[in-house]
Amino acid sequence: MSIFKGSGVAIVTPMRDNGEVDYEGFAKLLEFQIAEGTDAIIVCGTTGESSTLTLEEHAEVIRYCVKTVAGRIPVVAGTGSNCTETAIHLSKEAQESGADGLLLVSPYYNKATQNGLYAHFKAVADSVKLPIILYNVPSRTGCNIAPETILRLCTDVENIVGVKEASGNIGQIAHLAAIGAGMEEGHSKVDIYSGNDDQIVPIMSLGGIGVISVLGNVAPAQTHEICQKYLDGDAKGSCRMQLEAMELCNALFSEVNPIPVKKALSLMGMIGGTLRRPLTEMEPANVQRLEKAMRGYGLL
């Protein structure tokens, strides 16, 4: 059974000016997401600056998120690492905290082989009972999870259920959908989520069941509706909303994520825009582009 369908927000981790996690601001964001109809919270992912959180902070942010959400929608915890033992440790911590599922990014920098990826993900999955979504984002990790490897993991390992596909390679995603289809009548063996906000509808048209979204941080109701319309059979309406969001989607990736989305939330008065180094403040020209896109989308 799928962990969720629809729009899962890859939520930011607010920081205070002194660099500490802003838990008060985080609670505000979580309540905003739930009130606006987001279908799931994905905490401590790329957008949550997980790579600069200490292990203690990482575990505490997940605990706080689970406690604050209090079962109202699923919480999926990002617990991936390029060290298998670290990923196992974080995954066990998330399970103990009450997370509903895990998101495991492919090991970065190591550039494992496909057999190495299989062994890594299986070892983490075998250490917990939670359902797991793999995260394929080769532009950040330098390592692509092949469709055959994803299908093999979803077939062999009971609690690996899907993938967040952020390769941007529609042909590869179509191949995954094709080889994963037909395992059960009317149900793919692999739950596919778009990992790119500009490809929600294209990926759902290939059998995807939703998105893990950056856009959802600032436009949760609209991102939910893009997915829900498609799930309800209104492909044209979903496509129209996807196209209306394109200028904002592009502006949110005019610099490396999560720099623009944190600036956007700051412009909306939701949180401060503080980032942890090595991320730095957004360039003025890109701030102007972002503001223009937000005004055009009705957010300012």
Place of tokens 């623009």: 260
Summarize the chain as % helix, strand, coil (round to 5): 50, 15, 40
Helix (H) or strand (E) holding 193: strand 191-194
Q: From residue 195, how far is each of 45, 117, 201, 210 by CA, in Å?
A: 12, 19, 12, 9
Helix (H) or strand (E) holding 175: helix 170-180
Buried-exposed string 145-172: b where 16+ CB fall within 10 A, e elsewhere: bebebbbbbbeebeebbbbbbbbeeeeb
Distance of CA 74 to the CA centre of its chain: 13
| Choice among 118, 135, 230, 297 that is catalytic | 135
The interaxial angle of helices 114-126 and 84-97, nearest 10 deg, is 30
| Token reading at 133 | 């979504």
| Choice among 118, 164, 262, 297 that is catalytic | 164
Let me know if 292 is a catalytic residue: no
- Which residues are CB-contacts of 144 (< 8 A; sequence separation ≥ 6)? 106, 136, 138, 167, 172
* Beta strands at 210-213 and 191-194: parallel, antiparallel or unpaired: parallel
DSSP string covering 222-291, please?
HHHHHHHHHHTT-HHHHHHHHHHTHHHHHHTTSSSTTHHHHHHHHHTTSS-----TT--PPPHHHHHHHH
202 preceded by a cis bond (ω within 30 of 0): no
If you ran DSSP here, which 8-state letter would residue 19 be given? S
Let me know if 67 is a catalytic residue: no
Catalytically active residues, by annotation: 135, 164
